[in-house]
Structure 1
Amino acid sequence: MSLPKRILLWLMAGFYVLAGVQHFRAPEFYLQIMPPYLPWHLALIYISGVAEIVLGVAVLIPRLRVWAAWGLIALLIAVFPANVHAAMSEVSVSGADPIWSWVRLPFQALFIAWAWWYTRPPR
C-alpha cells in the first residue's frame, strides 16, 4: 500500500472512531436529524455509533479491511435518509444554517468512494 493511501486509511479510521464516540458524547446532535418515521431514535444513534467505532478500528486490520470498508459503505447508505430528512426539513443542526444539511449530502458520496478505495485488491 502506498504511503498516501496508508495515511488516508488511518485518517479515515480516526474519523469514524471519533464520529462514533460523538454518538455517545452528544447524542442530541444526532437526534435532531432523525427522521420521524424511524423508531427508537436514541438506540439507533448508539447502534450507529458502535458500528462506526468497530468498523473504524476494523478497517485498520488487514484481514478485516475489505469487509470493514464494505461495512462503512453500508453504514453510509443506511444513514443517508437521515441526512436527506435534515436537508429537506431544513433542520437547523445545533443552530447552524439549514443550508449545511444540503452541503453534507454530496460528502456521503465522497465518503463512500473513500471507503470503496479500500475494497480494491492491492496492485
Structure 2
Amino acid sequence: MISLIVLVVATLAFRLLGALGVRRLAGWRASAAHGLAVMLVVTASAHFVPEGVTVMPTHADLVRMVPPFVPFPGAVVYLTGVLELAGAAGLVLPATRRAAGFCLAALFVALLPANVHAAVADVPFAGEPATPLLIRVPEQLLFIAVALWVAVQAPRVREEGRDRQRAVPSKA
C-alpha cells in the first residue's frame, strides 16, 4: 500500500511542477512515468536493506515472499531490485521510456506470483501482517497498467531520430 501512496503522491507532485511551467512534466503520462520511477526507487531500496533494519522492509522480507518453486531466492531478490532501478532510470529518459515501460510491465507480471504467494502463505512483511490478496493483486495490476500507459505514448527511438533529422536544415 505504501508503494501505491508513493506512486500517487509523486505523480501529483510532478504534475504540479508541470502546471508550474516545467515543460518536461507538462502531461499526465510524463508525470506518471516520473512518479512510477520514484516508486520504483523506493521499492527497489528494500531489495538491498539488510535484516535487522526495522524502519522498512528488508531483503529477508522479500526473500520470504518468493514462491518455493523459484531457485536462488536471495539472488532473485537482488536481481529484481536492480531491474527496478534500471526501469526507474529508463522511465525518466524520454528516449528509453517506451522500452522501460514495456519491460517494467513484464517485470510486474513476473512478480505477481510472489505477491500471490505472500498473501496465500500469510508471509509477514516488515513485521506487519500479510497484505490480503484482494489488495495485492489489484495494486499489482494498477502498476502494470501505469507502466503500459506510460509506454504506449512514449516516442519510439527511431521515430525520435527521424524527427531530429527532419528538423535539421540541409546544407545543399
Question: 1:9 maps to what in 2?
Answer: 33
- Which residue in the other structure is 1:19 paired with? 43
Match of 1:117 in 2: 149
2:119 aligned with 1:87: yes
Structure 1 position 44 matched with structure 2 position 76: yes
Tell me if structure 1 keeps the 8 A contact 2:32–2:150.
no
Bigger RCO (CA 8 Å, 6+ sep): 1
Larger radius of gyration: 2
CA RMSD of aligned residues (A): 1.6
TM-score of the two chains, using structure 2 as the length reference = 0.65
Contact kept in structure 1, 2:116 and 2:136, CA below 8 Å: no
In 2, are the aligned partners of 1:73 and 1:112 still within 8 Å (CA)?
yes
2: CA distance between counterparts of 1:41 and 1:33?
Answer: 9
| Contact 1:83 1:101 survives alignment (8 Å) | no
Comparing 52-61 and 86-95, the one that deviates more? 86-95
Change (3 A) 1:97 1:21: closer
Question: How big is the shift at 1:8?
Answer: 2.1
Q: Secondary structure at the match of 1:32?
A: helix
What's the counterpart of residue 67 of structure 1?
99
**Aligned counterparts of 1:49 and 1:81: Cα–Cα separation in 2:** 16
Counterparts in 2 of 1:110 and 1:77: CA distance versus 1, 3 Å: same
Instruction: Give 1:39's aligned amino acid.
Output: P
Cα distance between partner residues in 2 of 1:42 and 1:96: 21
| TM-score, normalised by the number of residues in structure 1 | 0.89
Q: CA deviation at 1:3?
A: 3.2
Partner of 1:30: 62
Provide the rounded CA distance (Å) in 1 between the counterparts of 2:129 and 2:42: 24
Superposed displacement of residue 96, structure 1: 2.0
Aligned residues: 121
Separation in structure 2 between the aligned mates of residue 4 and residue 121 of structure 1, nearest angstrom: 11
Residue 77 of structure 1 corresponds to 109
Aligned partners of 1:17 and 1:57 also within 8 Å: no
Cα distance in 2 between the residues matched to 1:58 and 1:101: 31
Identity %: 31
Q: Which runs of 5+ in 1 are unaligned?
A: none
